[in-house]
Structure 1
């Protein structure tokens, strides 16, 4: 065994799985899951209790942007825990201010940060801020989206996890652009953008423009399929929001902090948001944290009246310290630039080469370290493969030491941004092998 696995114990793995019966897992029946028992992680690698090694091509839930156990972030958390492990949010605290300063330094024309515990309550509070600021209620979001599992956030979500959770009011949905499976019979990116914007415009007009507090969108919808928007779409939403006095909320929880090769994904499109939500990549999930980045004209509202909400752990010192260390490390080590390089020079070309060899891949899409393989039973009809195919591919990838992220008919290729070119190519080779084995086993 290597030094990383010398003291791992299979008995601990057995014990972990035994104790798992006490845990109700997200989005799962109890006790229907059989989760992988992970014991240790470092960089882009993880190990189970048997010492088996996995290349992490999931970034867990697409959040470990800086990789596992980055020494600067670990040390910052340890140091902060020894100095001041927790403090009430009503106090002022140096590391909290430094975390806000670091975040604001990476985004243009924003004035303040409201800290939350994670992405869902970041979206929740962004919606609240928009409603207070405008005095309106309705929120327009996409059907192909995921915004979290709290009251307003899950209602803003477009995918089927919303069903069964629709207890909040004021949520309206429209279809966003997705040329490969266009709702608008579009044939070009320009047509898709134009027709999706017209659809959004008509929904707002039909619902009453003066009733909308916010338009809430992911700059690149992640869980819905890594749907890079066509040129002009986000700018078109900005113009639509401005025309009706609506707040534009950009949900950067998954796409932000380097995932797409820019600090924030909306920066690719030059769009100006009013509110930006963040979480995951801001500290790679080492400590739960999220927040809302607020433009000056929105902040003015809360110079006149208090924000009607707060959280016990808002701006928690351990989380703040991890943000400072993460942003400093990402800046000093060129991690954002490396993510852009991986996407442009390794992952993008490599995945497109796989598509040339494997007819099961209907489309490759993405940027930076944020990619999806849209798997189809037939390329002409673009009919998605069924769940059993994806489950089989997932199992085969795990057997070969590749930790995947799968959703619906897709494999998402979303490694930590610190992955080396060689490790990325090794992962692509595993994907190639698994897809070839699937094709040879097909009837």
Structure 2
């Protein structure tokens, strides 16, 4: 029986077979309750039975251009028909054109790229580049961070997903963020930078190859750095000969209202990692961008790194088409203008609902932190944990056809950049009703 004549699986059949024959990530398998997905278009996806969901998280903060854009679909089809694969020692037109296009949109003099399969591998290779370029071995990373699940990237990661992988890659030193949780709040910029410089001095700057940081922290809180912080990090890295590595896997490609989040602060890192929005996740692709003098280091020295699917022609073709969509549809500008509306809607939630302790956003990159008390700012769920109220909120969103990530005491507002104002307001109306659940848990 061919795939064309097979009867489509029902939602229940999809779930049963996937749970029987595949392992779900970050989960005790008995607790997994996946949404069956049959098709998608624009900001929506549907179950096999036809239930519609608003994809308010862009899947994993990655389908930035929305689902099913025919321009990208055609580019993938055409490339598969013409040249499905060439090994990374060869030169292909998609690889050539993508490198040149990325050089146009990345900050400063970043104009050389090493292509990978995804964001975690981009971060792994950024570490390799930093170590081989500097001859040093230590890498600084922040606690409130996620850099991927591969062996090195999970070591860089600061959040609790790291714990089960320890001891991990040697030489990683975690440092505190400017943000210390909703109850302690933010350091001022001078204090945050002084703490970072103290760690550099205590570790020995001559031993530190790089400092990797999410420009705007993603799953650990949509933490927008205070003005002056990234500029100060840049200055400290320059002062001590440390490479500044900005992880833009989640924040890049218009998510914050600029091509890359660093553009808000006019900072040029030494290495810039990307994935997700690079192809809007239509196919896997990641990359490490580097400044010209770093690339020149490897002109006569071997770069010890490689991947079978490095510069995969289908991935490169998809990325070129995706970048074309951003430009043709002015999605960077749309993220900025629609993001201003979302900021207002978040502020309205905070004003109306006593369980909202904080709401943060930049562009279409947003998050709400929920609390049991606005006096004590006790989180609605503990660090690295959940609560009955947060679980009930997640169930309500699913029931009402709103898909987003509910994590600890937070939930995310990260829709595709193509979302209209009317669609945005529709999603926030569901959120508004859902917060009645958490409001009932507020003590004062």
Taking structure 2 as the reference length, the TM-score comes to 0.94
1:307 positional shift: 0.8
In the alignment, what sits opposite 2:55? 56
Counterpart Cα distance in 1 of 2:84 and 2:8: 33
1:6 corresponds to: none
Distance 1:275 1:106, change over 3 A: same
Count of aligned positions: 430
Is the alpha carbon distance of 1:163 and 1:441 closer, same or farther for their aligned partners in structure 2, counting shifts above 3 Å? closer
Matches within 5 A, 1:170-189: 170-178=171-179, 181=182
Counterparts of 1:239 and 1:290, CA distance in 2: 27
Other-structure match for 1:5: none
Question: For 1:174-232, what per-residue CA distance to the aligned partner results, in whole angstroms no more than 9, with x for missing partners?
Answer: 1111276476x76xxxx521111111111111111100000100110001100000000
Say which SS state the counterpart of residue 105 (structure 2) adopts: coil
Moved more, 136-145 or 103-112: 103-112
> What CA deviation, in whole Å up to 9, does each residue of 1:244-302 have, x standing for no partner?
10000000000000000000001001111000000000111111110100101111111
Is structure 2 residue 210 aligned with structure 1 residue 209?
no
2:32 corresponds to: 33
Deviation at 1:11, TM superposition (A): 4.7
**Structure 1 CA distance for aligned equivalents of residues 256 and 76 of structure 2:** 26
Verify: 1:327 aligned to 2:323, yes or no: yes
Distance 1:399 1:10, change over 3 A: farther
Which structure 2 residues correspond to residues 9-88 of structure 1 after superposition, within 5 A?
11-20=9-18, 21-88=20-87
What's the C-alpha RMSD, in Å, of the aligned pairs?
Answer: 1.7
Distance 1:182 1:213 in 2: 33
Alpha carbons of structure 1 residues 394 and 182: separation in structure 2 relative to 1, 3 Å = closer
- Runs of at least 5 residues in structure 1 that lack an aligned partner in the other structure: 1-8
Task: Tell me, in whole angstroms, the C-alpha distance in 2 between the residues paired with 1:110 and 1:182.
Answer: 39
CA contact (8 A) 1:178 1:192 kept: no
Cα displacement (A) at 1:409: 0.8
Matching residue within 358, 374, 386 for 1:379: 374
Q: Secondary structure at the match of 1:54?
A: strand
Match of 2:165 in 1: 165
SS of match in other structure, 1:291: strand
Deviation at 1:441, TM superposition (A): 8.0
Q: Equivalent residues in 2 for 1:316-355 (5 A)?
A: 316-344=312-340, 346-355=341-350
- Alignment correspondent of 1:420: 420
Contact 1:256 / 1:278 at 8 angstroms: preserved in 2?
Answer: yes
Question: How far off its partner does 1:353 sit?
Answer: 0.4
Q: Which moved more, 1:97-106 or 1:264-273?
A: 97-106
2:188 partner SS: helix
Q: Is the 8 A contact 1:40 1:46 kept in 2?
A: yes
Are 1:143 and 2:139 an aligned pair?
no
CA distance in 2, matches of 1:98, 1:137: 34
CA change 1:442–1:203 in 2 (3 A) is: closer
Indicate if the aligned counterparts of 1:179 and 1:192 stay in contact, CA closer than 8 A.
Answer: no
Determine helix, strand or coil for the equivalent of 1:324: helix
Kindly state the Cα deviation for residue 151 of structure 1 after the two structures are TM-superposed.
Answer: 1.7
CA–CA separation in structure 2 for the residues paired with 1:265 and 1:212: 24
Describe the superposition over 1:55-103 as per-residue Cα deviations: whole angstroms up to 9, x where unpaired: 1101111000011111111110011111111111110000111111221
Contact 1:43–1:67 (CA<8 Å) still a contact in 2? yes
Q: Could you tell me whether the CA contact under 8 Å between 2:372 and 2:441 is conserved in 1? A: no
Separation in 1, partners of 2:189, 2:377: 21
Is residue 362–residue 375 contact of structure 1 (8 Å, CA) maintained in 2?
A: yes
Cα–Cα, structure 1 residues 258 and 204, in superposed 2: closer, same or farther, change >3 Å?
A: same
Are the aligned partners of 1:263 and 1:336 in contact in 2 as well (CA < 8 Å)? yes
What is the CA distance between 1:31 and its match in structure 2?
A: 3.8
SS at match of 2:256: coil
